[in-house]
Structure 1
Amino acid sequence: MEETELIKLAQHGDAKAFEQLIDNRYDTIYRFAYKWCGNDVDAQDIAQQACVKLARNLKQFRFESAFSSWLYRLVINCAKDWQKTHNRYQTQTDHLPEQASSSSTHESAIYLQQILEKVSRLGEGFRETLLLVMAEGFTHKEVAHILGTQEGTVSWRMHEIRKSLNLLHEKGVE
């Protein structure tokens, strides 16, 4: 069954359609939550909150944009709520990823957490912009749509991130 049909059925109270929608999208939700917080337990909490929020707010989705854009916005909001609730404005390196399949993967995870720590200091919108562009692979246009901002703002944020870190360009991150 196509995602659009699942969404419509779930919006009308079909529990099986909603369950299938969650099954199809849970990895995306969890993966982004994990990149946000850096550990499995908190990522599961954020993902669970996102699923609950999805159940409550799915009727508000109007098919005016891609479902994935709407879903990322919902997960970002849950991650921000989690961060506020848990007073997680301290250094994110306290929450480095717990498991790594190789030293290369572990080094990449540590590097990402160090970048996120520095980017968090730049201000509102920078962290999610970086995660969506660098970690999720979205274009600036797609990120602008997800975040409800202008493409130029996303480009400016990425420029400021590169400028302030001077590490992104050296590592070859575009």
Structure 2
Amino acid sequence: METELVEKAALGDRQAFAALVESRYDFIHAVAWRWCGDRQDAEDVAQEVCIRLASAIRGFKGASRLSTWLYTVTLNAARDQVRKRRRAEWRDAAYLRERAVLEGGTGEDDNEELWQAVRQLPDKQRDAVLLIYGEGLSHAAASEVLGCAETTISWHVHEARKRLKVLLCDAAA
């Protein structure tokens, strides 16, 4: 059934495309939320993915599963959103630190959570951890989504664990 929808949507059938988006929207939104950690950002990413799918569906050749392909499209949109959010947060954080110092505080947030720490990891480590632990994918499936070797995924996860220990210990101190 889904294969038919994909084929019809790729040929320009709007009803098939709408049915495909409707059937996969919750999946896309859930992945986006885990990557972004913010409801509004997740909704923005999910909407962006749906817009991108309108033209990208023509490029889906069925070489991988649709869910793997959707992970990749959603991951790319989430990365774009996270970059945009980081730029705004850096600007806002600089303002808040300056204001906190002027008011006699430190401007630091001592309540770092695990997933917030994960989002601070370098892109490849963060992506590997979110796919493995957030999405529950195997190392093989994560390597397919990220387009790298399975051993590379394992290395990114290993490095992420070391970095998370430092990030979480610093947050607790």
Q: Shorter-normalised TM-score: what interval?
A: 0.7 to 0.9
Any unmatched runs of 5+ in structure 1?
A: 95-112, 168-174
For 2:24, the equivalent position in structure 1 comes to: 25
Give the secondary structure class of the aligned counterpart of 1:86.
Answer: helix
Any unmatched runs of 5+ in structure 2?
A: 94-111, 167-173
Instruction: List per-residue Cα deviations over 1:42-81 (Å, max 9, x = no partner).
Output: 1111100010011111101111111111110000100111
1:24 Cα deviation from its structure 2 partner? 1.0
Q: Count residues with an aligned counterpart.
A: 146
For 2:45, the equivalent position in structure 1 comes to: 46
Q: Would the aligned equivalents of 2:2 and 2:20 in 1 still touch at CA under 8 Å?
A: yes
1:21 Cα deviation from its structure 2 partner? 0.7
Distance 1:18 1:74 in 2: 16
Q: Would the aligned equivalents of 1:72 and 1:146 in 2 still touch at CA under 8 Å?
A: yes
Higher Rg of the two aligned structures: 2
For 1:82, the equivalent position in structure 2 comes to: 81
> Relative to structure 1, is the Cα distance of residues 38 and 61 closer, same or farther in structure 2, using a 3 angstrom cutoff?
same
For 1:4, the equivalent position in structure 2 comes to: 3
Query: Structure 1 vs Structure 2: percent identity of aligned residues?
Result: 38
> Relative to structure 1, is the Cα distance of residues 121 and 87 closer, same or farther in structure 2, using a 3 angstrom cutoff?
closer
1:40 Cα deviation from its structure 2 partner? 1.6
Structure 1 position 35 matched with structure 2 position 18: no
Q: Would the aligned equivalents of 2:35 and 2:119 in 1 still touch at CA under 8 Å?
A: no
TM-score when scaled to structure 1? 0.76
Q: Would the aligned equivalents of 2:29 and 2:43 in 1 still touch at CA under 8 Å?
A: yes
Q: Would the aligned equivalents of 2:6 and 2:20 in 1 still touch at CA under 8 Å?
A: yes
For 2:117, the equivalent position in structure 1 comes to: 118
1:118 Cα deviation from its structure 2 partner? 3.0
Q: Would the aligned equivalents of 2:9 and 2:17 in 1 still touch at CA under 8 Å?
A: yes
Q: Would the aligned equivalents of 1:69 and 1:145 in 2 still touch at CA under 8 Å?
A: yes
Distance 2:31 2:87 in 1: 17
For 2:55, the equivalent position in structure 1 comes to: 56
Give the secondary structure class of the aligned counterpart of 2:7.
Answer: helix
One-letter amino acid of the counterpart of residue 151, structure 2: G
> Relative to structure 1, is the Cα distance of residues 87 and 162 closer, same or farther in structure 2, using a 3 angstrom cutoff?
closer
| CA RMSD, 1 decimal | 2.2
> Which range moves more in the overlay, 114-123 or 73-82?
114-123
One-letter amino acid of the counterpart of residue 83, structure 2: K
